[in-house]
Amino acid sequence: MTNDAGEAFRPTPVVVLGVVPGDPPYRMVEVNGVLAGPAHDMVDVIRLARQAGVSEIDFDDPAVVRWVGGGKYKWVP
């Protein structure tokens, strides 16, 4: 195992938490470690991330978005 001093740990900028049952169900979104708000779909995730200063969002890149409790298509309990 090598330790590259130039490479620092970087947390995932966008974290989409598990589905919360509700009417309608939603997922809470954290951006840069701060709770940004609820999302009802992927468009809401983009909106919340942009409002928090993250402009480039690749839903398939685990270095950018981490899906907790289900992937990007999981929006109901």
Residue 54 has pLDDT above 90, yes or no: yes
Indicate whether 28 pLDDT > 90.
yes
Confidence at residue 7, expressed as pLDDT on a 0 to 100 scale = 59
Contacts for 7-15: CB closer than 8 Å, 24+ residues apart:
10/63, 12/62, 12/63, 12/64, 12/65, 12/66, 13/49, 13/54, 13/64, 13/65, 14/45, 14/49, 14/54, 14/57, 14/64, 14/65, 14/66, 15/65, 15/66, 15/68
For residues 52-62, give the mean pLDDT.
Answer: 94
pLDDT of residue 37: 98
List beta partners, residue 28.
Answer: 38
- Strand, coil or helix: what is 26? strand
